[in-house]
Amino acid sequence: MTPEAVAEAAARLAVRALDLPELARAGTVAAYVSVGTEPGTRALIDGLRARGTRVLLPVLLPDNDLDWALYEGPESLAEVAHAGKMRLLEPAGPRLGPAAVTGADAVLLPGLAVDVRGMRLGRGGGSYDRVLARLEAARAHPDLVVLLYDAEVVDRVPEEPHDHPVDAVATPSGVRRFRTA
C-alpha cells in the first residue's frame, strides 16, 4: 500500500471503529499504538480519549508479557527500544500491572489476519495470548475486537488449543461480527 492509502485506511478505520457499539459503550478500552504496516490506531485512541473513554495502552515487558498504563494524549507517549525487538511507542505514565486489562470493557487486538470463524492470527510473540489467558483466568469478558485491512480477513488461519475467537473484526470497509454485540 502507498503511504497515502495507508493514511486513508487508518482514517476510515478510526471512524468505523469509533462507531462500534463495543467501543461506544465501553468506559475503559485496552488498545495499542500501531507499528510498522499495521492499520493505524492513533486517530482511534485519540478519538476514544476525546469522548471520555479511559484508554489503556500496553507496555512490553522483557518476557513479552504486557503491563498497562493510561493514555493521556500523544505527548504522553515515549519511544522505547526493546532488546532484539522493534521500537515501540508506549505510555510514559505509571504502570498499572498486567492484570489492569481485566478491568477493560473492550480490548483491541493487533493481528496479521482473522478468519471467518473469528480466529485471530497474531505475530507469534505470545503477548496477546497471555492477555487472553489472563482475561479467561479472571473470568473477565470484554469485547474482543481486531483491527485489520480488508484483505487480512481470510477463510482460515492456523489455530492452536490455547487460541480464542474474537468477537469482531473492523476493517476500513466494514465490520464482521462473530458474536452479537
Residue that is written with C-alpha cell 496477546 in the block? 128
Note whether 71 and 30 are within 8 A (CB).
no
53-112 pLDDT per residue, tens = 999 999 999 999 999 999 999 999 999 887 666 788 999 999 999 999 999 999 999 999
Give the per-residue pLDDT at 83.
66
| Residue 60 neighbours by CB under 8 Å, 6+ apart | 66, 80, 82, 85, 88, 90, 127
Residue 133 reports pLDDT greater than 80: yes
Q: Is the dihedral of CA 17, 27, 33, 147 positive or negative?
A: negative
- Looking at per-residue confidence, does 7 or 145 come out higher? 145
Q: Tell me: the pLDDT tens digits for 8-59?
A: 888 899 999 999 999 999 999 999 999 888 898 999 999 999 999 999 999 9
Q: Are 164 and 132 in contact (CB under 8 A)?
A: yes
